[in-house]
Amino acid sequence: MTSNKLSLRLQINLIVAALTFLFAATVLALQLRSMRDSVHEEVVAANRVASQLLQRTVWRYAPQGMPAMLAFLEGMGRVRSNEITLLDAQGREVYRSPPPTYKAGRDAPDWFSALIAPAPSVQSIEFPDGKLVVRANASRAEIDAWDYIVALAGGAFVLLIVVNLAVYWLVGRAVRPFGQIVQALNQLQSGRFDAALPPLPGTEAAAIGAAFNRMVSELQTHIETERRAVRAELQLSDSRELTRWIDHHIEAERKLIARELHDELGQSVTAVRSMALSIANRTRAVDPQSEAAARLIAEESSRLYDAMHGIIPRLTPLVLDNFGLAEALNDLAERTQRLHPEVAIELTVDLGDAVLTADATLALYRAAQEGMTNALRHGHAKRLQLGVTRRGADNGVAGDEGDSKPDAPADEIALVLIDDGEGLPPEGWQRAGHYGLRWLAERVQSLGGRFEITSVQPTGVRLQVRLPTSMTKPVATSSQSLEAA
């Protein structure tokens, strides 16, 4: 696991090294303080003891003269931690203690001696022939302390090296799983969403590894869900395109059939009726039976002609292509009124200056046609209210109460059909059998509109279709109210 900055392993190692060094330095400082106190006590005490003993000895050998004193000092040799000097009456040096034999030739560094050496201590013993001077000498105690400190520092240094090597190795083992985690994260960043971590040693690493694997699993689930959503959206788009294509072909076939019925079959039926009437007129005085048959043919031809003209608007509203949506809805309302004179029909069309595409116009007409048919056939309605209005911020027309939505377009055409029939079935309008409404909903949604069917109180159904529109040039506006007596 490497980085442009200090790695975690190196950071931990530096922290441990600093703490170990601080601990060793503290121990050395405490030992140095203890040595200083020990050297002070030893040297000062030895100087005082030597001074007291020599003072008694001097008074013992003083009556015998300087030779006896010199012989005593030479026989005694060096006294530890003391340097003895014998001076005669004139202050000349007669004797000085021999150099130390303990660790001879070695002395502690001056800075170390200055650090732990006690203050100079000098004791003078005077007698008639001269003077004996006893000076404290801590050089041997200093060298002992120096040797101990050097050994202690060396041990601390070795301990520092050993501890840091051990920590470096142990931390390396501890953070090794994090390298695997980083590698897995890099694989995930590069687009390999199947990256997974094996069981990692250590509580924290194992928890991170498990969390990473859960995250990858959730990510794969979300990606797969997103892919399915994209595929579903593409399929839905294809389905809507197919629906529109089928719609166009169905409408084209309907128009073709309607025109064939109007132009070909209508003329043929009219010709049959005319010929039947002509035969009836010619045979009225000659053959009454043939006249009756001819008139029956003429009457059936008239009924066939009327039925055919009733079928044509259901196949395709030819008036829609020739006169527009408003006149087509007027025609639909009039034909429905003639077929159901007991039903009250209220129609309001107010499109303002909006222009609709041919697909949108046909969708609105089919919505009105399907809604009125269902209300009369299944709901047994006695009153129909059909309104087609433009709604948007520009013309100041607001939507129905409780029907505004935050995602509604700013400008739209709304068709609302309300009846007082028996209402929706318990299972709703999407149950099997309502293929006309389902086809209508698909058509509206393929145009980017909204299709809704809800119940109204106390009884009845409210059908609503909303399609987005644009403002270009005026469109015909009409208002009509048809009510049965």
Given CA atoms 366, 368, 371, 375 in this order, what sign does their dihedral have? negative
Same domain (yes/no): 43, 159: yes
Distances (CA, A) of 68 to 52, 58, 131, 472: 19, 10, 14, 144
CATH number at 330 reads 3.30.565.10
Same domain (yes/no): 417, 295: no
Same domain (yes/no): 229, 155: no
Domain's final residue, options 270, 301, 316: 316
Backbone angles phi, psi at 52, to 5 degrees: -65, -45
Predicted pLDDT at 404: 45
Nearest to 472 by CA among 371, 352, 359: 352
CA distance 41 to 35: 10
Which strands make up the sheet holding 450-455, listed edge to edge? 450-455, 461-468, 411-419, 383-392, 344-350, 478-482
Q: Is 111 within a domain?
A: yes
Q: Which domain holds residue 269?
A: 196-316
Quickly list DSSP for 365-407.
HHHHHHHHHHHHHTS--SEEEEEEEEEETTTTBPPPTT---TT
Q: Is 171 within a domain?
A: no
Q: Is 1 within a domain?
A: no
The rounded Cα 217 to chain-centroid distance in angstroms is 15
**Domains held by the chain: number:** 3
Predicted pLDDT at 473: 40
Task: Let me know: does 8 contact 175? Beta carbons within 8 Å.
Answer: yes
Same domain (yes/no): 331, 476: yes
Predicted pLDDT at 313: 66
CB proximity list for 60: less than 8 A, separation 6 or greater: none
Same domain (yes/no): 279, 380: no
Same domain (yes/no): 456, 339: yes
As a three-state string, the secondary structure of 189-211 is HCCCCCCCCCCCCCHHHHHHHHH
Same domain (yes/no): 34, 61: yes
Q: Is 173 within a domain?
A: no
Q: Is 189 within a domain?
A: no
Domain's final residue, options 298, 316, 334: 316
Residue 136 forms beta bridges with which residues? 82
Predicted pLDDT at 386: 94
Task: Let me know: does 340 contact 323? Beta carbons within 8 Å.
Answer: no
Put simply, whether the predicted model's pTM sits higher than 0.75 gets the answer no
> DSSP code of 97?
P
Quickly list DSSP for 224-283.
HHHHHHHHHHHHHHHHHHHHHHHHHHHHHHHHHHHHHIIIIIHHHHHHHHHHHHHHHHHT
Q: For residue 46, what is the enclosing H or E element?
A: helix 8-61
Same domain (yes/no): 270, 343: no
Q: Is 354 within a domain?
A: yes
Predicted pLDDT at 14: 84
Tens place of pLDDT per residue across the chain (485 aa): 444 466 777 788 788 888 888 888 888 888 888 888 888 877 777 777 777 777 777 777 777 778 877 788 777 777 777 888 888 878 888 888 888 877 777 888 888 878 777 777 788 888 777 888 888 887 778 788 888 888 888 888 888 888 888 888 887 777 777 777 777 788 777 777 777 777 777 777 778 778 877 888 888 788 888 888 888 877 777 776 776 677 677 767 766 776 777 667 777 778 887 887 888 788 877 788 887 888 888 888 887 877 776 676 666 666 777 778 888 888 889 888 988 899 999 999 988 777 778 888 888 888 898 898 888 888 888 999 999 998 764 444 334 444 444 454 557 889 999 999 888 776 666 664 567 788 888 888 878 889 999 888 888 899 999 988 753 344 343 334 333 32
Domain's final residue, options 261, 290, 316: 316
Same domain (yes/no): 476, 410: yes
Predicted pLDDT at 481: 38
Q: Cα dihedral angle (228, 232, 234, 235), rounded to 10 degrees?
A: 130
CA distance 414 to 352: 12
Q: Is 180 within a domain?
A: no
C-alpha neighbours within 13 Å on the C-beta side of residue 82: 26
Three-class DSSP category at 26 = helix
How many residues make up the chain in this entry?
485
Same domain (yes/no): 407, 471: yes
Same domain (yes/no): 342, 304: no
Same domain (yes/no): 22, 160: yes
Q: Is 2 within a domain?
A: no
Q: For residue 183, what is the enclosing H or E element?
A: helix 139-189
CA distance 232 to 407: 22
CA distance 304 to 310: 10
Cis check: omega of the bond before 458, within 30 degrees of 0: yes
Residue 388 forms beta bridges with which residues? 349, 415
